[in-house]
Amino acid sequence: MSQINEEYIEEYIRSIIPANEGYLREIEEYAIKNHIPIVEKEVAQLLKVLLRIINPKKILEVGTAIGYSALVMASSTTSDCQITTIERREDMAEKAKINIKNSSFRDRIKVLQGDAEDILPTLEEKYDFIFLDAAKGQYLNFFNECTRILNKRGVIMSDNVLFKGMVASDRLVIRRKKTIVKRLRKYLEHINNLEGYESCILPIGDGVALITERSEDNE
């Protein structure tokens, strides 16, 4: 349980989400067996719905892990949508490349192996949707780089922003996690008070934040 919602609510929501089949199911089972974190079922479902609404042509992901969320995003976008995903760990990046190669989306997903702090400043393309799911303590730094390469009307989605409820309640904070919690609180304060942007926090999974630049038409 993530401690974001009551257990019975979490269980109910997950129980009515259709189960994945094929390669996505296999990756889920591999992740469980090997204790590799992937996006929660309800967060994956949110990704699917959002992407069908936004219809992005270029997606950037920070935090590939074994490629699960990149494949979820590929499955929910049109054939002309290209996904670039960044993974720090070499072993994870190699496993992601194998999973992607074994899918029908191998030509649409590019894995960049290295530290996001080093790679993000080198990117020059603009993206319609950016998914942050890497080092939580670095979200603010990632975000500041990502706004530079976010298209007008683009969306940035950040996962795990409530961090097992610790961000919302000091009562839940584990001592060794204090720095991450402090940095996540700073990140959420920043995006919720950033001039020219609208954001919201959704208490699903481990907490999700969405932010988009305000349209000049709505000023």
Q: Cα–Cα distances in Å, from 83 out to 50, 56, 59, 129?
A: 15, 10, 5, 10
Residue 144 lies in a domain: yes
Q: What is the pLDDT of residues 100-136, one digit of tens each?
A: 999 999 999 999 999 999 999 999 999 999 999 999 9
Tokens representing 111 are: 């894995």
Residue 38 lies in a domain: yes
Residue 173 lies in a domain: yes
User: What kind and span of H or E run contains 211?
Assistant: strand 208-213
Contact 166/177 with Cβ under 8 angstroms? yes
Q: What is the mean pLDDT of the chain?
A: 95
Contact 85/76 with Cβ under 8 angstroms? no
What per-residue confidence (pLDDT) applies to 215?
A: 73
Residue 132 lies in a domain: yes
Mean pLDDT, rounded, for 73-93: 97
Residue 87 lies in a domain: yes
Total number of domains constituting the chain: 1
Q: What is the pLDDT of residues 179-206, one digit of tens each?
A: 999 999 999 999 999 999 999 999 999 9
Contact 156/134 with Cβ under 8 angstroms? no
Q: What is the CATH number of the domain that holds 109?
A: 3.40.50.150
- The DSSP code for 121 is G
pLDDT bracket for residue 2 (50, 70, 90): low
Residue 1 lies in a domain: no
Residue 219 lies in a domain: no
Residue 218 lies in a domain: no
pLDDT bracket for residue 218 (50, 70, 90): low
14 is in which domain, residue-wise?
7-213
